[in-house]
Structure 1
């Protein structure tokens, strides 16, 4: 029996343009692929292990053709719209009082600030959750096991009484290994508002 629903943020509530963001990054950085050093550095930023100032300075030092605005705009390009019907769906679940609701997202400082400024109902969204975990605030990130263990232990949850919704296959597989029920949401064909219809065998 499911007692807790754990949601990802990107491509679950807010739409992302991952291919477009990659293409824009290649163009701005004038590269054909992202060097491993940069991927690792971005990961440190997502975990909150370096500051936004250090993050921006890294790019300015390594890519002198970029301005601070270029770095921020390119980094935030991935973020798109947040359809309001998804918030309405979340509010319905909250109102039912049947489930504990948790957000678990790999989100960094620049991204969450953009969302706060551009999603007018962000505060309403956040208020729906019993716990709200962003990777840069807890210094943990998916798909590492420790982030799921942190959520389970901190909230005294049983893995088999939770369902985790994410669009990233690696994140889903890690959660599965800990005994958490999962829904690998395909943003091309699925919508989070279909949660109970698609996973009716669990509820």
Structure 2
């Protein structure tokens, strides 16, 4: 577009004579100014994009360091997930859905949210059964140390399946995290459908092992 405007200006000058020389010079100066502004805007966008990418992978490392087992720090992981979600919304406005950073941020945002929900489900299943058991004992006047221990056994049984879901997803999460890290280091392509398919396959594999 800049070249077209410059050619048009030259044609105007050559066709209309020296009286348009000042107008031509002013147009040329304006074009140079706009060109410089566009270059500066592009530089700032590129710098902001690189900063966002860097923050995303810092959060990835933080998540990996704090989600070692089922007793992960929920407060830390919740904060990481919320920050990742915000960075993802910003990053994908200027990048494609197939970009590895976009795929990584989407994976971590979605799966961290899922893991926190699975942990809540496991805890809620235990609490519901345990409290119901204690309430029943209280109503019958049969609450003893032994009966309370039996309530704990029942509560553990009630959360068995939710806990298995949590453990299976934790293992799949770690393995897919390693896969994404390898893809970044070795510059190998990964697609979101492929990642999700492998994640689900690993979850099913882990559930089979846990239930056997």
Q: Please indicate, yes or no, whether the TM-score normalized by the shorter chain is above 0.5.
A: no
More helix by share: 2
TM-score, length basis structure 2 = 0.23
TM-score, length basis structure 1 = 0.24
Kindly indicate whether structure 1 or structure 2 has the higher relative contact order, using CA contacts under 8 Å at least 6 residues apart.
Answer: 1
More strand by share: 1
